[in-house]
Structure 1
Amino acid sequence: MGITVVVEFRTKPGVRAELKSVLEGISGSYAAGLPGFLGSTVYEQLDDPDGLVEIAEWETSEAQATAVERAAASGVYAPVMELLVAPIRATRIGHLT
């Protein structure tokens, strides 16, 4: 059964749109070809002008964990990290069985 990953970002003031663009670029160019990646959507936080939330769908938790490890090792996330003022908060959720 698939999983959903909810990722919360807190950007430096005024760069939320830039982060959204970077995330969509990573999703479209890098993540789209990854085994198990089903897609993602980036949302703005309505009560925080510097907050973004990405919701990603994966076939398995193993596929997602492997993809994150490889992306971190390759530096794919470096442009994201430069725009943040706080650590990323990620929550992996799945359906109750």
Structure 2
Amino acid sequence: MSDQSTVTVLIEIHARDGQEHDARNALLHAIQTSEKPGLLSSTEYEDLDDPGAFYALQVWENPDAFHAHMDDAATSGMSEAIQSLREHPKTTILRTIN
């Protein structure tokens, strides 16, 4: 049974054609190097049927911690990291159904 305050966030990114390697590295670098208070775990995935699609499943202490992180990321160079993407990353905040 999970803590009711925790949330799982699905992050989805799609690379521009020819920039799959750059997008993959940018995702991994952003997750591994930035400070994320409230992040409990993160697992990254690549789509076997779409070489330009990447996902991260992250568990956060609560939605506020995730939103605070995203606010901070928006002011600390996230625009440079998304240069290799077709569109802005898509995020979905999920809560366990009990």
TM-score by structure 1 length? 0.84
Give 1:45's aligned residue: 47
Deviation at 1:74, TM superposition (A): 1.8
Q: Which moved more, 1:83-92 or 1:58-67?
A: 83-92
**2:88 alignment partner AA:** P
Paired with 2:69 and 2:26, the residues of 1 have a C-alpha distance of 17
Amino acid of the structure 2 residue aligned with 1:94: R
Structure 2 segments unaligned to the other structure (5+ residues): none
Q: Which residue of 1 aligns with 2:92?
A: 91
1:25-50: CA deviations, max 9, x gaps? 121211xx322012322211122121
Instruction: Could you list the structure 1 runs, at least 4 aligned residues long, displaced by more than 3 angstroms after superposition.
Output: none
Task: Map 1:19-58 to 2 at 5 A.
Answer: 19-30=23-34, 33-58=35-60
Q: Structure 1: any 5+ residue segments left out of the alignment? A: none
In 2, the alpha carbon distance for the partners of 1:82 and 1:19 equals 8
CA distance in 1, matches of 2:80, 2:41: 20
Q: CA RMSD in A?
A: 1.5
Question: Secondary structure of the equivalent of 1:87?
Answer: coil
Structure 1 residues 96 and 38: alpha-carbon distance in aligned structure 2, compared to 1, 3 A threshold: same
Following TM superposition, by how much is the alpha carbon of 1:57 offset from its aligned partner in structure 2, in angstroms?
1.4
| CA distances 1:42-90 after superposition (whole Å, capped 9, x unpaired) | 2111221211111111111000001100110122x12321011123211
Normalising to structure 2: TM-score of the pair? Answer: 0.83
The count of residues paired between Structure 1 and Structure 2 equals 94
